């Protein structure tokens, strides 16, 4: 056992050193998207909307939002779209394989501040994954909120993620869910097109609504505009932003977005604080 004096002097964990975790469950969501659970040594509390840095050994490290339940921090769930070397390497793992983990990092969704309001969550593609912990939170604390609505858009029915949960949510009383795909075969009975026209199908009071958006930047811009047109104040619209990251702790500048660092000021930002920056596509 370490003598008490030495223990007291031990340096805090180095924030750039990943801890070792193992994959405990692997689920394929679609051709490109997969979900896995990690079992960290200690329960790792997080708030909905925060992210971890996941390290695929010998390949690299990437930021990935936590897509699981913040009330069950002994299990860290991540849902990932394979787009390049690191995400593809993570997609090749199976239960029992090791992953390096740093986190959780960042500022998440304003689930506490939204208490008493109607809440709209709008996800595009893989953007439903960072919203899922907020959905779990709202379902668990349902009485604390007004009306709740989720809009989810994907390219095709085959690209939908969390399909069995979508069915459960659809049947949940007092919970509005609309799913739209951009293209579908004639046997698709749901909505076709973008999510923004579906806003008019949800019941909410624009004067008393908090909205949370996650998806590709073009979808974020269009959705935020539609919400403003519907009468929701820009200070009550929250968006989750993505940029390349290295340190995730505000040191390296890789994720700089105007005066902000996405890793520590976000990834979730109030829309009125980033709207002008979002107008610059290469920022
Ligand atoms: C805070 C935060 C949270 C994130 N959460 C998730 C998540 O929950 N699930 C998830 O799948 N991804 C998430 N991402 C995106 C993820 O980090 C990137 O997809 C990943 O870094 C790609 O790394 P790579 O080495 O596999 O591919 P790279 O070599 O980095 O990229 C391969 C190709 O994909 C493109 N690309 C890279 N990132 C993105 C992106 N975000 N969107 C679209 N195209 C991209 C690149 O331009 C390039 O053409 C998040 C990013 C941030 C900043
Ligand atoms: S990733 Fe280094 S400052 Fe944000």
Residues 6+ apart with CB under 8 A from 251: none
- Please identify which residue in the block is written with the tokens 């000021």: 265
Nearest CA residue ID for atom 9, ligand 1: 80
- CB-ligand 2 contact for 243 (6 Å cutoff): no
Do 136 and 245 fall within a single domain?
yes
Listed in sequence order, the DSSP H helices in 70-127 are 85-91
For residue 124, tell me if it sits in a domain: yes
162 domain residue, yes or no: yes
Which domain CATH number covers 133?
Answer: 3.40.50.80
What distance in Å separates the CA atoms of residue 72 and residue 181, rounded to the nearest whole number? Answer: 31
Does the C-beta of 259 come closer than 6 Å to ligand 2?
Answer: no
What is the pTM for the complete model shown?
A: 0.93
Q: Indicate the SS3 state at residue 92.
A: coil
137 shares a domain with 74: no
Regarding whether 240 and 125 lie in a shared domain, the answer is yes
| Sheet with 176-181: strands ordered across | 191-192, 176-181, 148-154, 118-124, 209-214, 237-240, 268-270
Q: Is 9 annotated as a binding residue?
A: no
- 112, part of any domain: no
Same domain, 123 and 216: yes
Distance, C-alpha 190 to centroid of its chain: 24
Give the pLDDT confidence of 136-167 residue by residue, as tens digits: 999 999 999 999 999 999 999 999 999 999 99
> Is 236 among the domain residues?
yes
Which atom, in ligand 1's list, is nearest to the CA of 67? 8
Atom number in ligand 2 closest to CA 261? 4
Q: Is 181 in the pocket of ligand 2 (CB under 6 A)?
A: no
The annotation status of 263 as a binding-site residue, yes or no, is yes
What is the domain range of residue 63?
Answer: 4-105
Residue 234 lies in a domain: yes
Residue 175 Cα to ligand 2 midpoint, Å, equals: 37
Q: What pLDDT tens digit does each residue of the chain (283 aa) get?
A: 444 545 555 555 677 889 999 999 999 999 999 999 999 988 889 999 999 999 999 999 999 999 999 999 899 999 999 999 999 999 999 999 999 999 999 999 999 999 999 999 999 999 999 999 999 999 999 999 999 999 999 999 999 999 999 999 999 999 999 999 999 999 898 899 999 999 999 999 999 999 999 999 999 999 999 999 999 999 999 999 998 899 999 999 999 999 999 999 999 999 999 998 888 765 6
Question: Does 91 lie in the same domain as 65?
Answer: yes
Residues 130 and 164 in one domain: yes
Query: 111 in a domain, yes or no?
Result: no
Instruction: Report the domain count for the chain.
Output: 2
Domain match, 147 and 258 both: yes
């Amino acid at each position: 056992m370490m003598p008490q004096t030495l223990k007291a002097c031990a340096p805090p964990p180095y924030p750039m050193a990943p801890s070792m975790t193992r994959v405990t469950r692997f689920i394929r969501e679609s051709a490109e998207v997969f979900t896995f659970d990690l079992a960290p040594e200690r329960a790792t509390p997080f708030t909905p909307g925060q992210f971890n840095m996941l390290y695929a050994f010998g390949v690299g490290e990437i930021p990935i939002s936590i897509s699981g339940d913040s009330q069950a921090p002994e299990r860290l769930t991540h849902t990932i779209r394979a787009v390049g070397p690191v995400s593809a390497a993570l997609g090749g793992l199976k239960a029992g394989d090791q992953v390096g983990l740093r986190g959780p990092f960042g500022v998440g969704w304003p689930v506490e501040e939204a208490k008493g309001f109607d809440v709209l969550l709008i996800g595009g593609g893989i953007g439903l994954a960072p919203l899922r912990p907020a959905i779990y939170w709202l379902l668990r604390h349902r009485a604390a909120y007004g009306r709740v609505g989720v809009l989810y858009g994907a390219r095709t029915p085959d690209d939908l993620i969390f399909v069995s949960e979508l069915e459960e949510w659809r049947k949940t009383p007092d919970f509005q869910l609309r799913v739209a795909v951009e293209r579908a075969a004639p046997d698709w009975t749901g909505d076709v097109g973008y999510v923004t026209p579906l806003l008019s199908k949800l019941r909410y009071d624009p004067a008393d609504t908090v909205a949370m958006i996650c998806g590709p930047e073009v979808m974020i811009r269009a959705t935020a505009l539609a919400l403003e047109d519907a009468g929701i104040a820009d200070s009550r619209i929250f968006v989750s932003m993505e940029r390349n990251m290295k340190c995730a702790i505000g040191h390296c500048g890789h994720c700089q977005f105007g005066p902000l660092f996405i890793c520590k000021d976000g990834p979730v930002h109030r829309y009125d604080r980033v709207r002008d920056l979002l107008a610059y596509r290469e920022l």
